[in-house]
Amino acid sequence: MPEAQKPSLPADLMTAEADLLDALKAALASGKAARWGATLRFENLRLLPVALRLFKALRSMDESCRLLWPDAGAAALSRRDAPDLAEYILDFNQWSAGGESDGLVLAVGPQPSDYEQFMAICQGHRASVVMLNGRLEDAAVGIGSVARERRRGFVSSWQQAYLLQPLDGGALMRRFPDDWALYRLDPDGYRHLAAMDNRPDPEQISALLAGEDADSLKQQLKSVDRFIDGLRS
C-alpha cells in the first residue's frame, strides 16, 4: 500500500490561515469538544487583521458568532477596522456585563492575567468557544497546587484545532483531525520527522530534532506512562 501522505507546512501566512479555518471547521463539526484553540506562534505577527479575517469567515458559517478581546482598547481598534461588524465585537468586561450565552465565540489573545474572567465567561457560555493565540498557563505560577489545579480543570478542557509554531531548527504543527507533526529544518527545507497522537513536550522535540528514532522514543514514552500509571494504582 502507498505510504500515507505527510502533511506539509504552509508556504505563507494566508495558506496557514486557510489551513487554520479548515481545521476549525472540522473541529467544530466533530462534536468532540466545545473549547478549541487555534495558534499561529510567529514573532511580530499582527494579530488584529488575522483575527478579523477569521471572524468574518466564522460568521459566514454562524451568524451568531461574536468576537471578544480581553481589553477595551483592542476591541475599539477592531471595531474601527471592521465597522460593519462593530456591534458583534466586545471586550471581556462588556461581555461579562451582559453577553449572550449562546452562539459561537471567538476570543482573541487571553493571557494568564485574564484567566479568572475568561474562565467565568467560558463556564457561563453554552455554545462553542474558539481561542485564537491565547495563553492560559503562567510559567511564573510554578508547579504548586494552583498550577496543577488549573491544568486539571479549565486549561485541560481545551483541545488544539490548529497550531503552527516555528522552533529552533524545526517547526511543530497540528491541524485537526491530523496528528501532531514535527519538522526539522534541513538545508533543502523542512523535512517531516514524526507524527504523534499528543503534543510532544520540549524534551521529546529536542530528542527528535537531534536525530533520535521516533519509534524508539515512542516506546520509551509508553514505558514511562506505564510506570506512572503503576505508581498511581
The stretch 128-136 carries a mean pLDDT of 95
Residue 1 DSSP symbol: -
Rounded Cα distance between 85 and 188, Å, is 44
The pLDDT assigned to 231 comes to 47
Q: Hey, which residues does 163 pair with through a beta bridge?
A: 39, 174
pTM of the model: 0.85
Q: In a 3-state reduction of DSSP, which class is residue 100?
A: coil
**Greater confidence, 52 or 220?**
52
What's the helix, strand, coil split of the chain in %, to 5? 45, 20, 30
The pLDDT assigned to 225 comes to 54
Give the strand order in the sheet containing 105-108: 89-91, 66-69, 105-108, 129-132, 35-40, 159-167, 170-175, 180-186, 189-196
Rounded Cα distance between 96 and 74, Å, is 16
Rounded Cα distance between 48 and 201, Å, is 29
The pLDDT assigned to 233 comes to 41
The pLDDT assigned to 216 comes to 54
Q: In a 3-state reduction of DSSP, which class is residue 4?
A: coil
The pLDDT assigned to 25 comes to 97
With 90 as the cut, is the pLDDT of residue 140 above it?
no
With 60 as the cut, is the pLDDT of residue 220 above it?
no
Compute how many other C-beta atoms are within 10 angstroms of the C-beta atom of residue 134.
19
Q: What is the mean pLDDT of the chain?
A: 87
Helix (H) or strand (E) holding 190: strand 189-196
The pLDDT assigned to 207 comes to 93
Band of residue 139 on the pLDDT scale cut at 50, 70, 90: low
Architecture of domain 13-167: 3-Layer(aba) Sandwich (3.40)
The pLDDT assigned to 24 comes to 97
The stretch 88-105 carries a mean pLDDT of 89
The pLDDT assigned to 142 comes to 55
Are 209 and 232 spatial neighbours (Cβ–Cβ below 8 Å)? no
The stretch 105-119 carries a mean pLDDT of 94
With 90 as the cut, is the pLDDT of residue 12 above it?
yes
Band of residue 153 on the pLDDT scale cut at 50, 70, 90: confident
The ranges assigned to domains in the chain are 13-167
Mean pLDDT highest for which of 1-10, 91-100, 191-200? 191-200
Nearest 5°: CA angle at 175, between 36 and 16? 100
The pLDDT assigned to 136 comes to 86
| Nearest in space to 133 (alpha carbons), one of 74, 32, 51 | 51
